[in-house]
Amino acid sequence: MKYIYTGSEADTEKLGKKIGNLAWPGIIILIKGDLGAGKTVLARGIAKGLGIDEPITSPTFTLIHQYNGRLPLYHFDMYRLYDAEELYDLGFEEYFFGSGVTVVEWPERLEGYKLYGHLQITIEKDFDLGTDDRRISIDARGELYEELKKELMIL
């Protein structure tokens, strides 16, 4: 398994920016990691890559924040999602299967919901290295996503 290592918040944001630059309409990016891992930092980078200048904050209580960039960005944080009903009340399928960029923090909460094409990014703290070090792995499902992963691994 090949990892991407970042040594600072700025590095992780830069990785996100590359994703935002390469993003296409309808792309789905799931971001896993513990609290404080850097999921929102990565999402902020994606926003920058989409040309969004507004400050990006975790939509922990509202579940979704929407921003307008080169493509619309739908930034979800499922941390406080309690059941599937809430998800359907939110009309999440319209976002996921629309033509914007869907970014999901805490996708574990969607367990049981089958998503086909998507990129899943896992951010882990690496205390053996240092407090600002992160080990990042990328799992791609679908042809376009495989291509995107390749681009990100060589950048």
Ligand X SMILES: Nc1ncnc2c1ncn2[C@@H]1O[C@H](COP(=O)(O)OP(=O)(O)O)[C@@H](O)[C@H]1O
86, amino acid identity: E
Reduced to 3 states (helix: H, G, I; strand: E, B; else coil), residue 119 is: strand
- Cα separation, 61 vs 67, in Å, equals 17
Token pair 């904050």 is at which residue? 57
- Min dist CB 40 to Mg ion, Å, is 3
Q: For ligand X, give the closer residue by CB, 14 or 70.
A: 14
138 binding ligand X? (CB under 6 A): no
Binder to ligand X among 124, 126, 132, 139 (CB under 6 A)? 132
40 binding ligand X? (CB under 6 A): yes
Q: Which segment (11-19, 22-30, 57-65, 96-104) binds Mg ion by CB under 5 A?
A: 57-65
* Strand order across the beta sheet in which 28-32 lies: 4-6, 134-141, 118-125, 28-32, 101-105, 72-77, 64-68
35 binding ligand X? (CB under 6 A): yes
Binder to ligand X among 3, 8, 117, 135 (CB under 6 A)? 8
The radius of gyration of the chain's CA atoms, rounded to the nearest angstrom, is: 14
How many amino acids of this chain bind Mg ion (CB under 5 A)? 4
Binder to ligand X among 17, 32, 39, 118 (CB under 6 A)? 39
Binder to ligand X among 28, 29, 30, 37 (CB under 6 A)? 37
List Cβ<8 Å contacts ≥24 apart for 33-36: 33/122, 33/123, 33/124, 34/124, 34/125, 36/125
At residue 23, φ and ψ (nearest 5 deg) are: -65, 150
Q: For ligand X, give the closer residue by CB, 91 or 130.
A: 130
Interface residues with ligand X (CB under 6 A)?
6, 8-9, 11-12, 33, 35-41, 58, 105, 132, 134
Binding-site ranges for Mg ion (CB under 5 A):
39-40, 58, 105
